[in-house]
Structure formats: C-alpha cells, structure tokens
Amino acid sequence: MNSAFEQIDFRCGTIAIVGRTNVGKSTLINALIGQKISITSRKAQTTRHQIAGIRTIDDAQFVFLDTPGFQSRNDSLLNRVVTSTLKSVDVVLFVIEAGRYRPEDQAVFELIPTSVPSVLIVNKVDKLLDKSALLPFVKNIATLRVFHHVVPISAKRLDDIRRILKILRPSLPIGKAIYGKDELTNCSERFLATEILREKLFRWTGDELPYTSTILIDKFEQNGNLRRVFATIIVYRDNHKAMIIGQKGTKLKKISTEARIDMIKLFNGPVYLETFVKIKSSWSANEAALRAYEYE
C-alpha cells in the first residue's frame, strides 16, 4: 500500500487564517496543527509575523498561515502582510467572534479576494451567553458573500477542529507534500523561543506594557537534546522594567518559568533559559539587568 505522500489523490495546499485581533486566530492554528507554535494573548497586536503551521494526515498536508491581526491604519505594515498572503493561498479562513461583528471585521473581509475559496469560521461559540442568538447572527454574516462553508466552532473542541480539516481538504490542490510528515512549522526554534517568551511577557503584564517591547535572543545553543537560550527583554522606561521584574523578581521568574515549560514541550527536550531585562537607552556594562535562571 502506498504511503500518504505517494497516493495519487494526495492533496497539499496553503490556508490563510485572517481576522481582526483577538478573535482566536492563533489559538485556532495551534489546534489545527496539534501543537503550540503561534503566540496567544488577550493583548491586541501581539502576533507580528506570519507563521506557518503544518498538519499532515494520511491523504493531505495543510499549510496554515497565521497572519497578524488587521490594523485600522491603511498604511500599516501588518495590513500589507495580510493582503500579500491572500493573493497566493488556496483557501482563506475568515475568523470572527460569535455574536460580535465590528468595523474591523468588515475591513478584513474586504481584503479577501472573491476568487479564493473562503470559509467563514465563527469562533468562541462556547462563550456566547445567548445561544439562541447564534443562528440569526451566522445567517446575517453569511449573506456578505457566498462562503464555501460557514462553520460555528470553539477552537478548544477537538471535534470542531477535525470538522474544519475535513471541510478544507477538497479545496486543496492535488499534489505532493511540501514538508516532511513530522514537520510542524517552517519557523526556526530560535524564532519560536522568541514568540513563546513574548507571549508570557504580555500575559503577565497585561495592557500596561507597550506591545512594541522587544525580545532579543542573544544566544541559542543546542548540546545534544539540551537547548540553552539567553534572551533579553528590551523596554523603553524604568517603570516598564520594574513592571516586568516585579517584587523581588517574582514576575520575571513566573514569565521565565512558563516560557521554559512551553519550550520544553515544543522542543521535546530540556531547556535552560536565562532572561535579562534592559532599558533600550542604556546598553552599558553597568546596566543592572536582573537575570532569571531556569533549568530542567
């Protein structure tokens, strides 16, 4: 019997996941590939880069592109990333939040080419308080255009994720797999380490820390199965630095610990993580950077 990559009707294609910020795009892509590779946060605008997640099953390979959330400024770099992505994919998943359709949603919708098959994903149905309002809401949004499918889901439900994969497969072109069957993303481990640390940083600082704060991976080493990661969190003010460090370093400790745990799961091996916090304007040797050491 032929392997999945040798089947005559094997399908492989790209699927863009688009939507305004905080509709659950990153959570969805993580669920679709069965592994966490995209940053999730309640803080808006945390996804800055396009991330490809790969899911390979017996008769298909799905390459999901998680795009940055659409921004209100027309000249935004992120908007250009979204627009560029939509020109070259096989399918678009337009993700909205159940019960909420805002001008920002409409702005994203208007970017989707009518020539590309599109699927309306109505996410977070589990959080909708008035369940009777779901059907009228879905019917109203579905009138915007002829969607190939309209799928109310919760990205946390495995059955809903399986249903999406089943719906998407016929829209993918017949062809050989682009990636190996065990590959989950085209992003480097160094990049993924940066994203994981960013996620924990925003999760523990809430809306007080500007999303422009930067994570730099100063060194990423691998010795056998052990990864050694040295990272610097760059902020612009003293109070931002204090916010991250917390009382006696407790908050930075939590950020680093949670980031290391996620890295261990993703890299499938032990991780040593050393995290610094520095103010951008002061890069001298006398900069008092607090370190958080984590090892397992």
Three-state SS sequence of 33-54: HCCCCCCCCCCCCCCCCCEEEE
**pLDDT at residue 285 greater than cutoff 50:** no
Q: The whole model's pTM is what?
A: 0.71
C-alpha angle 274/50/225, rounded to 5°?
A: 35
4-171, CATH topology level: Rossmann fold (3.40.50)
Of residues 66 and 1, more confidently modeled: 66
With bands split at pLDDT 50, 70 and 90, how would you rate the model's confidence at 10? Answer: very high
Q: What is the pLDDT of residue 40?
A: 54
Same CATH fold, 189-295 and 4-171?
Answer: no
**Which of the residue ranges 97-111, 149-163, 174-188, 209-223 would you say has the lowest mean pLDDT?**
209-223
Q: Closest Cα partner for 179 from 284, 72, 33?
A: 33
Residue 295: band (very low, low, confident or very high) from pLDDT cuts 50, 70, 90: very low
How do strand 60-66 and strand 91-97 relate by DSSP bridges?
unpaired
Please report the pLDDT score of residue 85 as a whole number. 73
From the list 50, 61, 51, 36, the residue with the least C-alpha distance to 267 is 36
Assigned architecture for domain 189-295: 2-Layer Sandwich (3.30)
**Sorting pLDDT into bands at 50, 70 and 90, what band is 77?**
low
Distances (CA, A) of 15 to 52, 97, 210, 263: 9, 19, 30, 26
pLDDT band at 42 (very low <50, low <70, confident <90, very high): very low
Q: In which band, very low, low, confident or very high, does the pLDDT at 25 lie, cut at 50, 70 and 90? A: confident
**CB-based contact 72:104 (threshold 8 Å):** yes
- Alpha helical stretches, state H, 68-115: 77-86, 103-109
Question: Is the CB of residue 270 less than 8 Å from the CB of residue 227?
Answer: yes
- Report whether pLDDT(242) > 70: yes
Q: What pLDDT is recorded for position 63?
A: 93
Q: How many CB atoms lie under 10 A from the CB of residue 241?
A: 20
- Residue spans of the domains in the chain: they are 4-171, 189-295
Is a pLDDT exceeding 60 seen at residue 49?
Answer: no
Dihedrals phi, psi of 156, to nearest 5 degrees: -90, -5
Cβ-contact 57, 181 below 8 angstroms? no
